[in-house]
Amino acid sequence: MVNQLTNNQARLNGVCLPQQSIDCWNCPVIKDRINVAELIFRRNIAITRRLREYIFKFSDILRRSYGEDYVFKIMDFCGTHEWTIVHFGIRSLVPNNVELVAGPGCPVCVTPSYYIEQTIKLALEGVVVYTYGDVFRLPALKPVNDARSLAEAKALGADVRIVHSIVHAAIDAGKHGKDSVFVGIGFETVAPGYAEAALKNLLPSNLKLMSLVKLTPPAAFYSLDILREKPNDCPVMGVIAPGHVSTIIGGKAWTPIVENYGIPVVVAGFEPNDVLMAIAEILRQLARNDIRVVIEYTRAVKWEGDVKAQSSIRTVFETVDSAWRGIGYIPKSGLALRPMFSKFDAFEYFGIKDLTPEEWRYDLPPGCKCAEVTLGKAKPTDCPLFMKQCTSDHPVGPCMVSMEGACAVWARFGGGGLSMEIAKDLGLVM
């Protein structure tokens, strides 16, 4: 953490001080730059009104071409976009021929139960487990010694510690020297941090990385394919691509969606106006038959992405087929440590056998529709357990845990324009 004098120097000079600070959220330079741009998008009602007019204008043009009953499905692939959409009631701002569909954008939701069970087992055997807060309550399918989550393992006496990053885990593990594991769940956004920690040899010898990183474009292609299999349904006609992930992989990573599916992609930020702008741009492209990838989130995303981060990831990790919870293996959708970095590998050090496609089994609890929700085939309210057996306090399935999980977001903020539908499903109104 930088001290006040250094903060002021940094602010004046506009420089990054990575040596002095490991906490970018408290970096004065980053704060100043982000706040100005974010506030313009967040607080400007005039922009919101104008965007809504555009959305209605283009949806009317499309209605005349496609007919009254055609619904333009737009998929958001990022859990944080779903959070913005629900939290700010964006579904209530779009016309009825536009439907916003949540996609597979929550890494906690899609991590197979097998790995949660293995980390619970390690924790109960005395290994110190470092994890992010939303992984802590993630329910496994099979209990291990009566513990169905790392939170329950901690209640039984295990040493489970919540951290913000692998660097925090490294600093802490270096102090106690006990066998430790960092549960490396996440998408492309977290991978550069893991890669740099390995490249710079930041991990103490007692801390190992369990790489459970998933890659978003292969999952996006997979879910678009699945949704096209429903012949009587309107297909997804546009994609709001994840802003954070795209800071790493760049706008160019989404061009296969344009080339293979012929639908627009807009890389968007996370303020309500960002999302409205993405919807307006997708409808504009469809109305004018001008289909391409557009980066709306230009304050953070470049076409090429972060080339240095991509290089670090390639050096440390190899792309592997990876299992997604409730869904199964998606080709080339995960990152595993390369053999030359095996000294950091938790699977190798603790002798944990990795899953294989032959051994993978459907791993959601009975009745849970997380796989369908994750793939955009169902809404949280389609699940018979939603807000009955499965609630934020007592999550049954993985989508009810993280603030990036669609069920958790809908449970906490109501579903925006669909709140009446939820209330009807729950029998609260007729």
Binding site for ligand SF4 (CB under 6 A): 368-370, 373, 380, 383, 385-386, 390, 396-397, 399-400, 407
Kindly tell me which of 192 and 415 has the beta carbon lying closer to ligand SF4.
Answer: 415
Look up residue 303 and give its DSSP letter: S
Give residues with Cβ within 8 angstroms of 79, minimum separation 6. Answer: 102, 105, 106, 109, 402, 403, 404, 405, 406, 409
Kindly tell me which of 7 and 80 has the beta carbon lying closer to ligand SF4.
Answer: 80
CB of 397 vs ligand SF4, minimal distance in Å? 2
Kindly tell me which of 70 and 362 has the beta carbon lying closer to ligand SF4.
Answer: 362
CB of 152 vs ligand SF4, minimal distance in Å? 17
CB of 390 vs ligand SF4, minimal distance in Å? 3
Closest residue to ligand SF4, based on beta-carbon distance: 397
Kindly tell me which of 272 and 380 has the beta carbon lying closer to ligand SF4.
Answer: 380
Kindly tell me which of 141 and 399 has the beta carbon lying closer to ligand SF4.
Answer: 399
Question: Strand 317-324 to strand 328-337: parallel, antiparallel, or no bridges (unpaired)?
Answer: antiparallel
CB of 367 vs ligand SF4, minimal distance in Å? 6
CB of 381 vs ligand SF4, minimal distance in Å? 9
Q: Max alpha carbon distance in the chain (Å)? A: 68
The Cα–Cα gap between 131 and 137 comes to 10
| Cα dist from 248 to 194, 254, 314, 413, whole Å | 13, 12, 12, 29
CB of 386 vs ligand SF4, minimal distance in Å? 4
Question: Strand 207-213 to strand 180-186: parallel, antiparallel, or no bridges (unpaired)?
Answer: parallel
Kindly tell me which of 291 and 378 has the beta carbon lying closer to ligand SF4.
Answer: 378
Kindly tell me which of 83 and 347 has the beta carbon lying closer to ligand SF4.
Answer: 83
Give me the half-sphere count of Cα atoms (radius 13 Å) on the Cβ side of residue 330: 26
What does 101-155 look like in DSSP terms, one character per residue? EE-S--HHHHS-HHHHHHHHHHHHTT-EEEE-HHHHTPPPSS-BTTBSSHHHHHH
CB of 414 vs ligand SF4, minimal distance in Å? 14
| Cα dist from 51 to 54, 56, 132, 392, 408, whole Å | 5, 9, 36, 33, 28
What would the two tokens of residue 315 be? 């050096």
Instruction: Please state, as a whole number, how many other Cβ atoms lie within 10 Å of the Cβ of residue 161.
Output: 17
